[in-house]
C-alpha cells in the first residue's frame, strides 16, 4: 500500500475510503479522491487508535486498518545508533530454521520486506540470524527498519542467534533463559558486531533485555561488548 494523503487519487484511495466506512460510519463517498472529508475521517481514526494524528495514511495507519504494508526502504540508508542482540528462545542443542522464524513473525503480523535474492515477501524481523554452526544469514536488508525491539527499531540493527533456552528435557525449558551460544556462534557474533560497528560509526551493543522485561538474548550483551573494538 502506498502512503496516501490529501490530494492522492486512485484505486488505493477507494480501498481506504471503503475500509474507513466499514470501521466507522464516516459516510465517505468512495470516489478515489482523498479530499478534506477523507482526511478528517483518517484523523478521527488515528486519534481513536493511538496513531500520530497527521491525516496521512502511512504504514502504521494502513496496518491498523488491517492492511499489510512493506516497510519502506530508506534510500539514503538509516542512522544506526544501536546493535541489538536477540536469541530465538529455542532449546539448546536444536536447530531452528529461518523459515520457521519467518512463519512465526508473519503470524505476528510483522511488516514484510522483499528478499533481494528471491524477490519473495519475507517477514523475519531481524537483519541477521546466526545459526548454531556459526553461519551468518542475512535476512532483512540493513536499510529496512527491523521488527525486533519495540520503540528501538528505527535506529538499530537486530541480530539473533539460534538458541537461548535450556534443553527441552529441562522442566519449563521455555520459561528460562540460558546462554547456549556455541563457540562458532560466539565467533560469528564477534565478527558481525565488529563489521557493523566499523560500517556504522561504532554504535553501542545492547541485548533485547536492555529495552524490555525479557531474558533475551540470555547473556549480558552490553557488558560483554563494552569497550569492544
Kindly list the residues in this chain that would bind Zn ion in the complex (CB under 5 A): 86, 208, 216
| C-alpha cell at position 208 | 533485547
Give catalytic status of residue 214 as yes or no: yes
Give catalytic status of residue 208 as yes or no: yes
Cα angle value 201/179/218 (rounded, 5°): 65
Closest to Zn ion by CB, 39 vs 210, is 210
Peptide bond into 217 cis (omega under 30): yes
- What minimum distance in Å lies between the beta carbon of 113 and Zn ion? 18
Say which residues have a Cβ less than 8 Å from residue 148's Cβ, sequence separation at least 6: 84, 86, 125, 126, 156, 158, 160, 208
Quickly count: other Cβ atoms within 10 Å of residue 147's Cβ: 21
- What minimum distance in Å lies between the beta carbon of 70 and Zn ion? 22
60, 64, 106, 214: which one is catalytic? Answer: 214
82, 86, 178, 197: which one is catalytic? Answer: 86
- What minimum distance in Å lies between the beta carbon of 158 and Zn ion? 8
- CA-closest candidate to residue 218, choices 89, 95, 33: 89
123, 126, 200, 206: which one is catalytic? Answer: 126
Q: Is 55 helix (H, G, I), strand (E, B) or coil?
A: coil
152, 178, 197, 208: which one is catalytic? Answer: 208
Give catalytic status of residue 49 as yes or no: no
CA–CA distance, 228 with 207 (Å, rounded to integer): 15
Closest to Zn ion by CB, 34 vs 206, is 206
- What minimum distance in Å lies between the beta carbon of 88 and Zn ion? 9
Say which residues have a Cβ less than 8 Å from residue 113's Cβ, sequence separation at least 6: 70, 71, 73, 121, 122, 123, 140, 141, 144
Closest to Zn ion by CB, 114 vs 137, is 137
Closest to Zn ion by CB, 56 vs 221, is 221
Give the residue numbers marked as catalytic. 86, 126, 208, 214, 216
Amino acid at each position: 500500500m502506498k502512503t496516501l494523503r490529501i490530494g492522492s487519487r486512485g484505486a488505493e484511495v477507494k480501498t481506504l475510503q471503503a475500509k474507513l466506512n466499514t470501521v466507522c460510519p464516516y459516510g465517505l463517498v468512495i470516489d478515489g479522491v482523498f479530499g478534506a472529508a477523507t482526511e478528517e475521517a483518517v484523523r478521527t481514526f488515528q486519534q481513536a487508535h493511538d496513531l500520530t494524528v497527521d491525516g496521512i495514511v502511512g504504514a502504521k495507519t494502513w496496518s491498523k486498518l488491517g492492511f499489510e504494508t512493506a516497510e519502506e526502504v530508506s534510500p539514503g540508508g538509516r542512522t544506526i545508533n544501536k546493535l541489538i542482540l536477540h536469541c530465538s528462545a529455542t532449546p539448546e542443542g536444536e536447530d531452528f530454521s529461518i523459515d520457521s522464524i519467518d512463519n512465526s513473525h508473519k503470524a505476528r503480523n510483522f511488516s514484510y520486506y522483499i528478499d533481494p535474492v528471491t524477490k519473495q515477501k519475507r517477514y523475519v524481523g531481524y537483519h541477521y540470524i546466526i545459526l548454531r554452526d556459526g553461519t551468518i544469514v542475512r535476512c532483512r536488508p540493513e536499510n529496512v527498519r527491523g521488527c525486533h525491539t519495540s520503540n528501538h527499531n528505527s535506529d538499530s540493527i537486530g541480530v539473533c542467534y539460534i538458541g537461548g533456552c535450556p534443553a527441552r528435557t529441562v522442566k519449563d525449558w521455555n520459561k528460562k533463559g540460558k546462554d547456549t551460544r556455541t563457540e562458532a556462534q560466539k565467533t560469528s557474533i564477534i565478527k558481525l558486531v565488529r563489521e557493523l560497528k566499523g560500517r556504522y560509526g561504532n554504535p553501542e551493543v545492547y541485548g533485547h533485555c536492555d529495552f524490555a522485561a525479557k531474558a533475551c538474548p540470555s547473556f549480558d550483551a552490553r557488558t560483554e561488548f563494552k569497550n569492544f573494538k
